[in-house]
Chains A and B, each alone.
Chain A
Amino acid sequence: MIAARRLDKISRLMGSRATPYSLKALNKESLLWTEFWNPKVRLLCNNDGVAAFSSTSHYSSNCNHSPTNKVLRNLPGYVKIVEVGPRDGLQNEKEIVPTTIKVQLIKMLVSSGLTVVEATSFVSPKWVPQLADAKDVIDAIQNIRGARFPVLTPNLKGFEAAVEAGAKEVAIFASASESFSKSNINCSIEDSLARYKDVASAARKLSLPVRGYISCVVGCPVEGMVPPSKVAYVAKQLFDMGCSEISLGDTIGVGTPGTIIPMIENVIRVVPIDKLAVHFHDTYGQALSNILTSLQMGISTVDSSVSGLGGCPYAKGASGNVATEDVVYMLNGLGIETNVDLEKLMLAGDFICKHLGRQSSSKTAVALTSKKANSKL
């Protein structure tokens, strides 16, 4: 009753240890689940694919079936995760994190499979002392292969410093809210765009890719709701000036699928969807559902921060960035490839949390760590 191809699939999954010990068909309904028992690995298999879990960790969200339900039908097969922990995450830390720790964190993140890791920011150390060691960080990661390391550059001066330090990709940061733009970067949206045109132009001359960020794409701590059309306007400007990707940031985390959808809809009218990324904050616990909605709409790049590093500066004590581990867990469960090894990612998260002296903000990491600890008892 078991198709030969299924046995093959299982063998490949398990490697040379694969020897189905016994099998038991649970039912004959359309979703035929067949159980294979093996002393080391337990598998469940249906006509479309295999859900596997080993006896050491009873459940793995890994799922490689292609969903047929309309709700999940058009999800991308691969999602690129842009890891912003070392920059967006750490910049909010009061205690200065030593350069060596930052560099080690970046190395561990890269080794988990993350292909884009935002390394640092070339802003005035007066304003962001945490990132005063930008040059040293870039120096130290020059030889790391297998990943890109964009750095924030607020203006031409920052750009030149970044290039001199060896940066090979830069990022610029505009706002969809006029008030926020004025308070955060001390100029109007238009002035900031003019400034970034210079940066983008200089980057083009050196064939350096530029990533554009838009903050306050749903709400602003001052203005309240931000119109989707405004977000689209800023996105178009950044795209037209040469940004290879535009990351849409819900800076204060107030977005829900109901507001994310019209925002993305407006933006994709003026920027191709494959050039867009989403950067949701989890301040109100909404990030993962917003990410899911974005994936349903065709977005395939997601920003996140290991261990959920980076609180919300607008609501002290509240959470900020969505945790990369939680995102990867969800994507794994959806059968979406990320190339990220969750266990190695958790090691990186563990490393930085130990240094910061606090628990991870990733629920996945906390749950899996607790399970491991309990299983050793």
Chain B
Amino acid sequence: MFLQKLYTRLNNMENPSKACNSFRLLFTMSSLEEPLGFDKLPSMSTIDRIQRFSAGACRPRGDDMGLGNCWIDGRSCSTSNSCDEDYEEYTGEAFPWRRHVKDVSEGGTFNRRASSLSKNRMKFEYVCDSRYLPDHQCSCKCNDRGIHGITNKFLKGIPKFVKIVEVGPRDGLQNEKNIVPTSIKVELIRRLVSSGLPVVEATSFVSPKWVPQTYSMGNDYCWMQLADATDVMKAVCDLENARLPVLTPNIKGFEAAVAAGAKEIAVFASASECFSKSNINCSIEESLVRYHAVCHAAKELSVPIRGYVSCVVGCPVEGAIPPSKVAYVAKELYRMGCFEISLGDTIGVGTPGTVVAMLEAVMAVVPAEKLAVHFHDTYGQSLPNILVSLQMGISTVDSSVAGLGGCPYAKGASGNVATEDVVYMLNGLGVKTNVDLPKLMSAGDFISEHLGRQSGSKTAVALSRVTADASKI
């Protein structure tokens, strides 16, 4: 809630982007390596921190990926395209958050005083006086202009824009034991859409009404969680500015989805035979035949179809999955009409070494722009896996707000990668996502509060800790 207030305040300001807020700080004696408590340092608000560190770096206009200008993490480029705004000196009235300042002349006692910011400017002794110029160039006094070539090598293939497919409401919530009320799901979807996410996977039509066979998806209660699929879909189908795909395991599920107002569907195959049998109770080939029928029906109604491939690196039963198998399934889904294939490391065992090999095999048969990556963070590997995927040219990433969705195969372990962490990284790389990080965090905050637990996103935790401490000042 504090985040919301901060964000509202930010939005109501005349020039919220003018956040060059530096302050002169006086410090008392402190020791080497004394673990500094937060109370000993000036606080930094969430918005401050986001602005300073997390958000979209200035990307030079044009195709030049070179970093003649230094990459400085700045504000996120949201749909409001705030990158156009100048960062200039701002007055204290614009940012009335109090700062914690320790005055050495007073012998170490804390002084709280409102920051007198009118004369203060973000002090970048060696860097920028203003963070952004209107034309996206960083005004930067860095002396790294001669290292163009080396930098290009590592960031060359990374796309300028990455589409984030938010799977929290479906893939995330389906693993929850306690049923989340429909109204909460709908509100979550609304908040996610308003943060700028272009695609939000809304629900799944997997009820036994439509799927008579056992459909465990790793747990026995996911179908119960998603039993309100029709209600959710009806409530969100008219939301603008985002696509809302839904999972449809067969024709019956597809028909129910369309009747409820779904305009995009998804089908879910596996690269592992064992997993296919245990998860959707049929072989890979049988599932592909089934999806053929779904795709055919979808094409007739001009409904786009997204294909998922699970276990693209490892399977909880079979172990390592050959890349060629993944390529085969991906190719089949692509041929039957899926406009996008999402490659899922279902148990999170992948590392850049195995991910690259898998992507090489798949990209030989499906164009890179039709691929998405869906990594689980069970072993903490998802962000480096996403990074190499981007370096290989992938430009669509699945993730889940607040890291919703544990791993059903390793109880207590984490599952989906958190959208906030992904956005933070992409912002830092200067990759546009159109996602507003504070609004996204607000959505994550909302659902985490309902679920009664801390966010699974480290970015969200870090930023909210800072906020919580700032609010106590």
Binding site for B on A (CB under 8 A): 26-27, 29, 31, 33, 42, 44, 51, 53, 58-59, 61, 63, 65, 67, 69, 71-72, 91-92, 121, 123-124, 126-128, 152, 154-155, 173, 178-179, 182-186, 219, 221-225, 227-230, 253-259, 261-262, 265-266, 269, 282-286, 288-289, 291-293, 296-297, 312-319, 323, 326, 329-330, 332-335, 362-364, 366-367, 370-371, 373-374
Contacts and interface: CB of A to CB of B under 8 A. Distances in A.
B154 A261 contact: yes
B44 interface: yes
B24 to A, nearest CB: 10
Nearest to B150: A265
B459 A313 contact: no
B322 A26 contact: yes
B155 A123 contact: no
> Which residue among B31, B36, B38, B325 has the maximum number of chain A CB atoms within 10 Å of its CB?
B31
Contact of B325 (A26, A42, A371): A26
B413 A366 contact: yes
A285 B458 contact: yes
B324 A261 contact: no
Given A154-B32, A254-B54, A332 B151 contact: no
B427 A183 contact: no
A59 B349 contact: yes
B220 interface: no
- List 3 tightest A-B contacts by C-beta distance, closest first: A333-B351, A256-B428, A127-B31
28 contacts: A29-B361, A31-B323, A58-B316, A59-B349, A91-B35, A127-B31, A179-B25, A183-B25, A184-B32, A186-B29, A222-B25, A227-B125, A229-B143, A254-B49, A254-B53, A257-B428, A258-B429, A262-B67, A265-B144, A288-B383, A292-B384, A292-B387, A297-B154, A315-B462, A326-B379, A363-B378, A370-B412, A370-B413
Interface string B289-326: 00000000000000000000000001111111011110
Given A256-B429, A333-B354, A173 B33 contact: yes
B392 interface: yes
A326 B73 contact: no
B40 A183 contact: yes
Contacts of B325: 26
B261 interface: no
A318 B125 contact: no
Contacts of B49: 254
B317 A58 contact: yes
Given A58-B318, A182-B27, A224 B427 contact: no
Contacts of A257: 154-155, 387, 425, 428-429
Interface in B20-42: 22, 25, 27, 29-38, 40-42
A310 to B, nearest CB: 9
Interface in B320-337: 320, 322-325
Contact of A284 (B42, B144, B459): B459
B319 A288 contact: no
Most buried by A among B22, B70, B430, B466: B70
A230 B316 CA distance: 48
B54 A222 contact: no
Contacts of A330: 351-352, 380-381, 384
A61 B424 contact: no
Interface of B: 22, 25, 27, 29-38, 40-42, 44, 49, 52-54, 57, 67, 70-73, 122-127, 141-144, 147, 150-151, 154-155, 314-320, 322-325, 347-354, 356-357, 360-361, 377-381, 383-384, 386-388, 391-392, 407, 409-414, 418, 421, 424-425, 427-430, 457-459, 461-463, 465-466, 468-469
A121 B33 contact: yes
A136 B73 CA distance: 44
B35 to A, nearest CB: 5
B423 to A, nearest CB: 11
Contact of B380 (A63, A152, A225, A363): A363
B465 A286 contact: no
Contacts of A367: 348, 378-379, 407, 410, 413-414
Nearest to A363: B380
Given A58-B316, A329-B380, A313 B38 contact: yes
A276 to B, nearest CB: 15
B458 A223 contact: no
B388 A72 contact: yes
A228 B144 CA distance: 8
Given A152-B32, A223-B123, 20 more contacts: A29-B361, A65-B357, A67-B357, A72-B356, A91-B35, A121-B33, A219-B73, A221-B42, A221-B44, A228-B142, A253-B462, A254-B49, A262-B71, A286-B383, A289-B384, A317-B465, A329-B351, A333-B351, A363-B378, A371-B410
A177 to B, nearest CB: 10
A312 B151 CA distance: 30
B71 A259 contact: yes
Contacts of B380: 288, 323, 326, 329-330, 362-364
Contacts of B386: 289
Given A225-B72, A289-B425, A314-B41, A185 B32 contact: yes
A53 B320 contact: yes
B52 A225 contact: yes
B350 to A, nearest CB: 7
